[in-house]
Structure 1
Amino acid sequence: MLSRSASLPWCIYPIHTEHDPSPLVCGGEQPCKHANRAGEMVGPGGVLAGFARLVLFICFLAGGARASPATDALRRVSPRAAGNGGLCEQLLLPQGYPCTEHTVQTDDGFLLSLQHIPRGKNGVEDNAGPPVFLQHGLFQGGDTWFINSNEQSLGYILADNGFDVWIGNVRGTHWSKGHSSLSVHDKLFWDWSWQDLAEYDILAMLSYVHTVTQSKILYVGHSQGTIMGLAAFTMPEIVKMIGSAALLCPISYLDHVSSSFVLRAVAMHLDQILVALGIHQLNFHSNTGVQILDYLCDDERLDCNNLLSSITGENCCFNSSRIDYYLEYEPHPSSTKNLRHLFQMIRKGSFAKYDYGWWGNLRRYGQLRPPPFELSSIPESLPMWMGYGGLDELADVTDVERTIKELRPTPELLYIGDYGHIDFIMSVKAKDDVYADLMRFLSAQQGMHSSY
């Protein structure tokens, strides 16, 4: 990499003003001037747009963005989850919880890891309660339900309160990096978005749990786990296996995302830059991933001293002293295509399948625009519960309310004004603030009595 002081003939810096969001083009000693946005000249997928964004990112790599304090820990901590042993061996068994590993194959060949916790730490017999399936969010894995203490982590709490706990891990995470014919180094291994996670991964994992337990499943999802869930529940073959659904920070629309970090990435077309550079895997434990974060944080308008808050908004009750431990497991990799699909949701205000452009959509869907996932097709009889927070800059209250209005079921709601996006799974107070009501809901669906 060139040093930051290296002389470059010219470069494009994504510096925006309030009235003119186009990038500034600077050349040597010449004054900067605003460039026309390439996407407006030839469309978002045009050659000129791709070239401009490619040059922008190459300039970043050559110039070397300042190392941000936000990424110091990522540089310092080696991911434990990428080492030997599965989730059971690394997290649950050492805590005294029974845990078994299971592998399922999706219809498109991905090998996914599931974990089963049949009883609590002090249980003698397997829990007779219904199966609860926990689905993690973006850049997370099944470990997210267990990396706080036994008294603070939802996975442990459910097992200790009589639930038969199953943990999902989508393709590309550290726990699910297998495929029947591809390796993680193949471009096609990363050719998927959350649409595929809903249509293939959720189907395969829930089908396995349903076959083993012969019981309807209580679905619990967080963040992207709710996007996947809501999309999957529109499919009759999946929703018939669901007994109830509890959604933490529910997302189907992203129109009102207010995270300055995310909006900067969307405005600079980070997704298209990565595609142009042939970067298909997003791994923020890699050198390239850390450089991307540094680049996004290299803006005086962003306060990346607390990277998590920069991305998700403030979290009232997150234990920041444990950040190094959390980083031993997270963030997990995801795909550039998945990021692009999420950015499409922000740009278009839609809850729809992946947009391949007019011709691509015609080939895949038989229509010019990607078909929407119709929330109104989720059966009215499906019991639902939603927990959301006033400080969440990803699952914005306005977008959550839109989701609620479009659903036929009337969800039970838990709103916590001072909770952010991560608080719902990692708050040190979540057991009392969130999980007590969540377990009351889950227990009521099957006539159980929660001991909590």
Structure 2
Amino acid sequence: MAVLPKVLATVFIAFCCYRISQADEDRTSRIRRGFRIHPHTHMTTAEMIRARGYPAEVHHVVTDDGYILEVHRIPLSSRRSSEHNLNLTYSVQNEVKRSLELQLLNTSARTDHEKSPAGEITHRGDPRVVFILHCFLCSSADFVMNDHDQALAFVMSDEGYDVWLGNMRGNIYGRRHSKFSPSDTQFWEFSIDTSARYDLPAMLQYVRTQTGVTQLSYIGHSMGNMLFFATMSIHPHINSWVRVMAGMGPVAYMYHGHAQLGFLAPVTDKLERSLAKKGQLEFMAPTNTTAMMVSGLCSDMIFIRPICQLILDFIAGPSSRNVDPTYLPVIAAHTPAGSSFRIFAHLLQFVRDRTFQAYDWGPTKNREVYGSSRPTRLELSKVTVPVAGFWSSSDVLADPRDVARTLREVSNLVLNHQVQHDSFNHMDFLWGENARSLVYKHIIDFFNQYY
């Protein structure tokens, strides 16, 4: 959902970059040697985590329908590697303060489990585990593409959370299946309710099993919220697995912010079915050559880098330049991360029908799948987890009117928080240098009420 309003322009840009790179590999190689880009630009999520001096684990979760999803973890650690200290940008005074805070935090974490006289482990309190899920065409990388004191995953880790970063089927970390390959049409035949039925339950259960907790905290961004809401509607019992939920740009409804795209829904439905027959449902697939070329356009040695910033504004909405320009190549190399065209078609159905529902196959097949001519409605009233919504009046992708209706229908809304910044846009929740003070701090305060 992060790039939905301008997705056609983004497709065109990515396609052009791909064609350029394919047509002249030698020239591409020469250009690449001339780029000065951020060292994290072509790293994986796990590599970026380790580059910041945090421990990183890579896990693979198998869904009930055979998709293999790569999940990234920043486990609690009593210390960071010396490499982390080389990356610090704080002043000496602030870093000493942070070191003391971390020592206290880690001391507290180590005393959460004590041995009884009989030698058995007793729990003084559940460990703090947080699961974070990304937006449409995004990935786990979006939560680590910033300085260690600004990126959400690192902020939560520093607060004493065992951090797990999920990935949906179809993105760069969700391109494996026990039976199909990405070259098979069947691999891409999934919609939003399919991912809600299988992906999120599998990842949440895996995290609970690995950590031993009965409940975890949840943070979603954009479609990461939509998937959460849909999952709770399809599997109401999973509400008991989640202690508390924070939604950044939380929308289930989309018709206010994207009303101009509603007329595309019938055309997109037909196109999706045509692409399915041709076996071409993969949508905005990431490639190394495209990532290299697009990130190169955002490097500080290219005179057109201002155009890179304009493209970002075009995709995410007007910005006060909350994103550090040095990270633009990193962002460009990791976003878009890929998905299925059926997901895009499903989003446009939400716009057209002004409702939150399962995929609309048309009256005939709907009767086969749902027992009705209309798709099954996804009910927000079944979300009973304590929910906090974080939204911005200048977010053009999660329109405040759509956010308001979404949060109004959630059963247990505890906090409705408007970001206090005049130009805080949809992607600033992920990459903004001021996101920690404007959003993350309030999420942590909200979570603290439930531990």
Q: Same fold (TM over 0.5)?
A: yes
Deviation at 1:75, TM superposition (A): 6.3
**CA separation of 1:355/1:258 partners in 2, compared to 1, >3 Å: closer, same or farther?**
closer
Larger helix fraction of residues: 2
Distance (Å, rounded) in 2 between the aligned partners of 1:350 and 1:160: 39
Q: Given residue 150 of structure 2, which amino acid in structure 1 is its aligned partner?
A: Q
Matched, 1:97 2:93: no
Q: Given residue 173 of structure 1, which amino acid in structure 2 is its aligned partner?
A: N
For CA contacts below 8 A with separation 6 or more, give which structure has more relative contact order.
2
Deviation at 1:271, TM superposition (A): 5.5
State which of 148, 151, 154 in structure 1 corresponds to 2:152. 154
SS at match of 1:107: coil
Aligned to 1:405: 408
Deviation at 1:67, TM superposition (A): 7.3
Q: Given residue 181 of structure 1, which amino acid in structure 2 is its aligned partner?
A: K
Aligned to 1:358: 363
**CA separation of 1:81/1:252 partners in 2, compared to 1, >3 Å: closer, same or farther?**
farther
Matched, 1:269 2:267: yes
Deviation at 1:403, TM superposition (A): 1.1
Deviation at 1:210, TM superposition (A): 1.3
The TM-score with structure 1 as length reference comes to 0.73
**CA separation of 1:95/1:167 partners in 2, compared to 1, >3 Å: closer, same or farther?**
same
Aligned to 1:216: 215
Aligned to 2:257: 257
Contact 1:82 1:174 in 2 (8 A): no
**CA separation of 1:385/1:75 partners in 2, compared to 1, >3 Å: closer, same or farther?**
farther
Aligned to 1:309: 313
**CA separation of 1:220/1:71 partners in 2, compared to 1, >3 Å: closer, same or farther?**
farther
Matched, 1:114 2:118: no
User: Which runs of 5 or more residues in structure 2 are unaligned?
Assistant: 1-7, 22-27, 33-38, 81-101, 113-126, 295-306
Deviation at 1:315, TM superposition (A): 2.9
Deviation at 1:253, TM superposition (A): 0.2
Deviation at 1:130, TM superposition (A): 1.5
The 10-residue stretch of structure 1 (278-287 or 319-328) with the greater mean CA deviation from structure 2: 278-287
Deviation at 1:66, TM superposition (A): 12
Aligned to 1:346: 351
Q: Given residue 181 of structure 2, which amino acid in structure 1 is its aligned partner?
A: S
Contact 2:262 2:351 in 1 (8 A): no
SS at match of 2:436: helix
Deviation at 1:69, TM superposition (A): 11
Distance (Å, rounded) in 1 between the aligned partners of 2:259 and 2:54: 37
Contact 2:255 2:402 in 1 (8 A): yes
Distance (Å, rounded) in 2 between the aligned partners of 1:117 and 1:202: 19
Deviation at 1:259, TM superposition (A): 8.5
Distance (Å, rounded) in 1 between the aligned partners of 2:401 and 2:343: 23
Contact 1:104 1:204 in 2 (8 A): yes
Aligned to 1:323: 328
Residues 294-331 of structure 1 deviation map (CA, whole Å, 9 limit, x = unaligned): xxxxxxxxx99823332332233133442222122221
What percentage of residue pairs aligned between the two structures are identical?
Answer: 27
Aligned to 1:87: 45
Backbone CA RMSD of aligned residues: 3.5
**CA separation of 1:66/1:248 partners in 2, compared to 1, >3 Å: closer, same or farther?**
closer
Residues 168-188 of structure 1 deviation map (CA, whole Å, 9 limit, x = unaligned): 011111122111000011111
Distance (Å, rounded) in 2 between the aligned partners of 1:406 and 1:193: 23
User: 5 Å matches for 1:287-302?
Assistant: none
Aligned to 1:378: 383
User: 5 Å matches for 1:32-43?
Assistant: none
Distance (Å, rounded) in 1 between the aligned partners of 2:390 and 2:56: 28
Aligned to 2:281: 280
Aligned to 2:83: none
Distance (Å, rounded) in 2 between the aligned partners of 1:167 and 1:67: 29
**CA separation of 1:109/1:256 partners in 2, compared to 1, >3 Å: closer, same or farther?**
same
Contact 1:259 1:394 in 2 (8 A): no
Q: Given residue 229 of structure 2, which amino acid in structure 1 is its aligned partner?
A: L
Residues 46-99 of structure 1 deviation map (CA, whole Å, 9 limit, x = unaligned): xxxxxxxxxxxxxx9xxxx99769966996799x9998x8632x2112221111
Deviation at 1:395, TM superposition (A): 0.9
The 10-residue stretch of structure 1 (171-180 or 216-225) with the greater mean CA deviation from structure 2: 171-180
Matched, 1:367 2:325: no
Contact 1:252 1:403 in 2 (8 A): yes
User: Which runs of 5 or more residues in structure 1 are unaligned?
Assistant: 1-59, 294-302, 447-452
